Chain A
């Protein structure tokens, strides 16, 4: 009898202080991290005890963020008098940060639960240290989302980069992993420099570093564009936008799978968050040219990522390229929203932004799910190469079934969640003829076609991913003894798969949350959801979609068909050998390989790649076929920069003779020069 009022009382108290409560939970993460140091070598203590508590904390944060969004109240802010003198930490919780905290909490809960079952002793860094890095990583992402001044934002941003760097290099004895980690750190810092420039420009010379001050500054269009371009470079580097993506396919496969899932599912989203914060909230989305730039970069990244994913032979690299593709789709949505907003088409801007937000949410679910599934496969088989996997649906039915959900979701198939956001994005492309720039109008259909091509290519990639790993015959004899995931891992995977299904079938809740964000950033939301059955972003006469009817319809037809077939015919089955056109000597090596699956793509998109082939001569007794595929960006953009830096360093090294007297002379000359300058 008293339960309901007391719950509502608790809700009322908590919702009055959402920000405080969330900060408290972020503190719990940090405390969990340091608690791990008490017994750093004990897997049982760190993994089986601390990580589940961390997962519950994730749920708490998601719940608080959800309550905050549902309550529809305005922004809450807080000033913490810590940090440097005269530079206190400013924090703020508004619908935009609430949405991304919700994402962080929901996907993080699944990842932490999985990680609790995943980490075991003898793999790289000691568990306690790993737990510290992991939870600091989570907490710093939370602070990035809540920060309300550039100073705190950069502190949290760098903590995030450093903690994830240590997580990526947890197996630092392997040289490739050290190299991947270094590349990641380098790109993270190049990005951070750009972000600093952006904030510096936005503070407009008055040294007010709070976001509130930046929001109030009215920059001239030229300076606003400078700030925007630096933000795009900096956050684009973190998100993995082409051509700043080079670190991503190296770092994601190098990290342990839960960390890959966190980086791809969560960390990339903080860059999306920051991009939205800067371009819509701080710079007020003023110029349609920005939108065109973001749209073009986004679409190109999407296509680039999909094409490269199709030719990969390492399962985690494939997923990393697929992340580039999905980030590209999100940026395409953001670009379209900027374009509409600057053209005063608020409703369509809200539609495009909603698509981008929902896709960010979806991606954090299905990409985490798939990365975690590759972790289970990796533990069970010790193989990452697609050429040595296959047939795991028989030995790992749980992982296979749950990965199938993620595969179908990421391929953008109804009634799962990936389809919802892609459908919304395509819908927003439909309205581009209303933009008052005739030339853009002509080009946008091509953009829509690029989008359609990308989405369809993603389905191709995912059929390859799932088919080669889980279906067919095992390509190595050991695979038949692969063990399935343990129960903690299964719970983590199930949570994420359930998220994919729920958002797909009932997108209304996610749309509502995204509507709060678009309401805050644009002052406009898409048509409110009135029915439980279907969504119609603009008007039901124009377009509507119902995941629920899709699912119910297909399931009902399948059930009826099954019963009718059994009643009118029969259900007899005879198990035999595979027919294979009557050829009895087939082996597992005759199946299509990952390379074979990539072949049509290599054929069609040859200009994207730099290929090196070594073909055997017809008379070879032991023929070996080798093909190496590289990014053109690497050679065209990064190597020249690296070479010129090397050259510069060589030139400068002339002054370093190694003799003490010469160095003392330099000091003396510097002093002299300074004296001259001062006097």
Chain B
């Protein structure tokens, strides 16, 4: 690998880490507008992080080392995921370390660490949150996997760079199975990122919390890392979504000079702006489900993805043949 690809890789990671809170701020702003509230400034997440990093960390007396390590592990996995997912260019040295299935495993690692850390102090809400988070996780994973199977059938690869290269350069048409997969993916994205209708990121009711319940015992820099990791996770999911369904504009392999990279970055920002607005719209239009309804919601996502697969197999469409 040349120095240039390494620089490109590093640049992409830095970009992801830098603008992930901005994406979160943009969604919050859109939500506020849609709900007729005065919006917080776009930079609100950064101010929050800055405040948290400068506070003293209050740690429960019998917190184990696992509790203190978990935020770093969480942040580490999300940064690694950002290095693997092609968001601006596809010729990335790190992207070969994992295909999309391994990426699911990476997210699962983060989830398990978060759940274990939540159980460490032994408070009622922490373990409640851990249990719920793991429940959502094991229901969402099969649905996500079915979406990836669909992509494999279409583009013959689960390696994201090859997949995006194939996807971005093909002749434009819409395979009917993609629509099913897309809806399923958005449903999974909402569930995995603790958004409405599964979880409400802005809630203050402990009994209905999932993600927030797990981080109740965290403060200061640990909380900041967890929040940042959550921002990155949403950013990563959005980028996976772009890679699977909206790849146009990305600097594909072989056509990734300086100008193409600049253009791709600009296109990425535009895509994120639209995706954020769409997410805010979905969240404003739907109500939070009861936790017992979550399995039904995720089963529906799963069935949609399977339906997509069956549609593909029945119609016999095969692009790369």
Number of residues from B at the complex interface, CB < 8 A: 75
Q: Contacts A543-B157, A543-B158, A603-B292 known; A445 to B108 CB distance under 8 Å?
A: no
A558 contact set on B, CB distance < 8 A:
72-73, 75-76
Residue pair A591, B122 in contact (C-beta under 8 Å): yes
Taken together as a complex, chains A and B put the C-alpha atoms of A541 and B96 apart, in Å, by 9
Residue pair A456, B149 in contact (C-beta under 8 Å): no
Residue pair A554, B80 in contact (C-beta under 8 Å): yes
Interface residues of B in 58-74 (CB under 8 A from A): 58-62, 64, 66, 72-73
Min CB distance A53 to B, Å, is: 37
Q: For A557, give the chain B residue with the smallest CB separation.
A: B76
- Asked if B146 is at the interface of the complex by the 8 Å CB criterion, the answer is yes
Residue pair A423, B105 in contact (C-beta under 8 Å): yes
The interface-forming segment of A75-83, A91-99, A227-235, A565-573 is: A565-573
Residue pair B57, A573 in contact (C-beta under 8 Å): yes
Taken together as a complex, chains A and B put the C-alpha atoms of A549 and B94 apart, in Å, by 8
Residue pair B112, A408 in contact (C-beta under 8 Å): yes
Residue pair B149, A542 in contact (C-beta under 8 Å): no
Residue pair B102, A423 in contact (C-beta under 8 Å): yes
- Asked if A487 is at the interface of the complex by the 8 Å CB criterion, the answer is no
Q: For B141, give the chain A residue with the smallest CB separation.
A: A456
Residue pair A459, B102 in contact (C-beta under 8 Å): no
- Asked if A393 is at the interface of the complex by the 8 Å CB criterion, the answer is yes
Main DSSP-derived SS at the A contact region? helix
A572 contact set on B, CB distance < 8 A:
56-57
B156 contact set on A, CB distance < 8 A:
542
A442 contact set on B, CB distance < 8 A:
310, 313
Taken together as a complex, chains A and B put the C-alpha atoms of A264 and B134 apart, in Å, by 26
Residue pair A553, B83 in contact (C-beta under 8 Å): yes
Q: For B129, give the chain A residue with the smallest CB separation.
A: A592
Looking at B54, B120, B127, B221, the one whose CB has the most chain A CB atoms below 10 A away is B127
- Asked if A390 is at the interface of the complex by the 8 Å CB criterion, the answer is yes
B137 contact set on A, CB distance < 8 A:
456, 459-460
- Asked if A394 is at the interface of the complex by the 8 Å CB criterion, the answer is yes
Q: For A467, give the chain B residue with the smallest CB separation.
A: B119
Q: For B303, give the chain A residue with the smallest CB separation.
A: A449
Number of residues from A at the complex interface, CB < 8 A: 82
Taken together as a complex, chains A and B put the C-alpha atoms of A357 and B132 apart, in Å, by 34
Residue pair A590, B124 in contact (C-beta under 8 Å): yes
Interface residues of A in 528-571 (CB under 8 A from B): 533-534, 540-546, 549-550, 553-555, 557-558, 561-562, 565, 568-570
Chain B 284-321: CB-based contact to A (< 8 A → 1; otherwise 0) = 00000000100100000010001001100100000000
Taken together as a complex, chains A and B put the C-alpha atoms of A148 and B184 apart, in Å, by 52
Min CB distance A549 to B, Å, is: 4
Min CB distance B301 to A, Å, is: 12
B292 contact set on A, CB distance < 8 A:
603
Residue pair B130, A463 in contact (C-beta under 8 Å): yes
Chain B 115-143: CB-based contact to A (< 8 A → 1; otherwise 0) = 11001111111011011101101110110
Q: For A576, give the chain B residue with the smallest CB separation.
A: B58
Interface residues of A in 389-434 (CB under 8 A from B): 390-391, 393-394, 404, 408, 411-414, 419, 422-423, 426-427, 430, 433
- Asked if B194 is at the interface of the complex by the 8 Å CB criterion, the answer is no
Q: Contacts A541-B162, A565-B221 known; A580 to B72 CB distance under 8 Å?
A: no
Residue pair B75, A578 in contact (C-beta under 8 Å): no
Taken together as a complex, chains A and B put the C-alpha atoms of A542 and B101 apart, in Å, by 11
- Asked if B274 is at the interface of the complex by the 8 Å CB criterion, the answer is no
Residue pair B134, A459 in contact (C-beta under 8 Å): yes
Q: For B64, give the chain A residue with the smallest CB separation.
A: A393
Looking at B58, B111, B131, B139, the one whose CB has the most chain A CB atoms below 10 A away is B131
Residue pair A591, B131 in contact (C-beta under 8 Å): no
Cβ-defined partner of B96 (8 Å) among A411, A544, A568, A569: A544
Q: For A455, give the chain B residue with the smallest CB separation.
A: B141
Taken together as a complex, chains A and B put the C-alpha atoms of A597 and B129 apart, in Å, by 11
B57 contact set on A, CB distance < 8 A:
572-574
Cβ-defined partner of A541 (8 Å) among B101, B115, B159: B159
Chosen A-B contacts, 14 in total, with CB atoms closer than 8 Å, are A414-B109, A427-B158, A430-B152, A430-B158, A453-B142, A455-B141, A471-B64, A471-B122, A544-B97, A578-B62, A591-B123, A591-B124, A592-B124, A597-B127
Q: Chain A: residues with CB nearer than 8 A to chain B?
A: 390-391, 393-394, 404, 408, 411-414, 419, 422-423, 426-427, 430, 433, 441-442, 445-446, 448-450, 452-453, 455-457, 459-460, 462-464, 466-468, 471-473, 533-534, 540-546, 549-550, 553-555, 557-558, 561-562, 565, 568-570, 572-581, 586, 588, 590-592, 596-597, 600, 603-604
Ranked 5 nearest A-B pairs via Cβ: A472-B122, A592-B127, A456-B138, A473-B122, A549-B97
